[in-house]
Amino acid sequence: MSFSNSGGKFIISLDFELMWGVRDLVTTATYGEHIAGVHEAIPKLLACFTRHNIKATFATVGLLFFETKAELLSALPGRKPNYKKAILSPYGEYMEKNLGENHTTDPYHYAPDLIRMIQSTAGQEIGTHTFSHYYCKEEWQTVDDFRDDLAAAISTAQKMGIKITSIIFPRNQFNNDYLAVCKEAGIITYRNNEESWLYNARSGEKETLLRRAIRLMDAYINISGYHCYTEEYLLGKFPVNIPSSRFLRPYMTRLTSLDWLRLRRIKKSMTYAAKNNLMYHLWWHPHNFGINQLENFAFLEEILVHYRYLHEKYNFTSYTMTELANELLAKQPGLKK
């Protein structure tokens, strides 16, 4: 069953996390330029989305909402994940050593001004990326830890007048066992991974270089398919899964000569979705646009110009995750119960 009555759907989601999403992999010394650049990239993204009538979902880490360190520390959840790999936890030693006193002095861990900017831009949704960039597939963390983390994320957003109804699981570590907790918390939709062995959720330890290499190739040539979804695929489950179609990889100098392939891969999939009244879901991190902004925004502009062509010709339409979920749920009103 396609979306035959109203045309195909175009979803954009962004995993907004700053250092909280990469702090176990890099430091501000090695990656700080990418993170600091988000404070310039998000205003540009919002302007670009407004210009092209794009709606997007910004899945935001709860720790980014605060103005000061004191405010942040007072809002931490009662239960914290006790990961087997201690480096995965942002609490304790990491916060003590790396967290600045307030958002004006520390651009790596706070973003209240950017959140307010997103909130005030028409058509944009703020969802959650959990409170602490929580890893749902890592050893020793529990469903009760996750419940407290999610409650902290939702409470923090509410204080800014934001109702959270969508979630994107950090590192794409989707865990089906945790959907009941999401439902209890008022979450109506989430983003799962592409339907392919290349993209099945795994913990960091179980990820392989082979899968990473093939996923990189898949960004340039069609190895795993278009990953466009029918209405029938999305119907029937609650919360509603709005799965990923493609990660928008950032500009890489050494692969510049292949960028035409990367763009063609995305545009052909979008066209396939538009012609066949299917859904296409593009995602990335704002910090992917933290550097090489000229090249990254030029690439995005090509995608969004193509979207406008598809919108005019095939009624391919931009939605937030929650908007699409609500449209689907209206067709099956008993599903939330």
Architecture field, domain 9-329: Alpha-Beta Barrel (3.20)
Which of 202-211, 212-221, 231-240: highest mean pLDDT? Answer: 231-240
Q: In this structure, are residues 64 and 115 in contact, taking their beta carbons and an 8 Å threshold?
A: yes
Taking the chain, what is the end-to-end CA distance rounded to the nearest angstrom? Answer: 24
CB burial class (10 A; 0-12, 13-18, 19+) of residue 61?
buried
- The tokens describing 83, both together, are 């990961």
Query: Is it the case that residue 220 has pLDDT exceeding 80?
Result: no
Q: What is the pLDDT of residues 271-312, one digit of tens each?
A: 999 999 999 999 999 999 999 999 999 999 999 999 999 999
pLDDT of residue 302: 98
Q: How far apart are CA 16 and CA 118, in angstroms?
A: 11
Mean pLDDT of the chain: 92
pLDDT of residue 258: 83
pLDDT of residue 203: 47
pLDDT of residue 226: 75
Q: Which of 330, 329, 307 is nearest to 318 (CA)?
A: 307
The band of 3, judged by pLDDT with boundaries at 50, 70 and 90, is: confident
Q: Is residue 239 reached through a cis peptide bond, with omega within 30 degrees of 0 on the bond before it? A: yes
Query: Is it the case that residue 160 has pLDDT exceeding 90?
Result: yes
Query: Is it the case that residue 254 has pLDDT exceeding 90?
Result: no
Q: How far apart are CA 220 and CA 103, in angstroms?
A: 38
By percentage, how much of the chain surpasses pLDDT 90?
80
List, in sequence order, every beta strand (DSSP E) within 131-175: 166-168
pTM: 0.94
Q: Strand pairing partners for 59? A: 15, 127
pLDDT of residue 199: 58
Q: What is the pLDDT of residues 50-63, one digit of tens each?
A: 999 999 999 999 99
The domain segmentation of the chain, as residue ranges, is 9-329
By percentage, how much of the chain surpasses pLDDT 70?
93
Q: Which of 34-48, 212-226, 303-317 has the lowest mean pLDDT?
A: 212-226
Helix 38-51, helix 293-314: angle, nearest 10: 20
Residue 325 vs residue 5, higher pLDDT: 325
- The tokens describing 268, both together, are 């052909």
pLDDT of residue 200: 61
pLDDT of residue 268: 95
pLDDT of residue 195: 72
pLDDT of residue 1: 65
User: Stretch 123-141: mean pLDDT, rounded?
Assistant: 97
Q: What is the pLDDT of residues 39-85, one digit of tens each?
A: 999 999 999 999 999 999 999 999 999 999 999 999 999 999 999 99
Query: Is it the case that residue 161 has pLDDT exceeding 60?
Result: yes
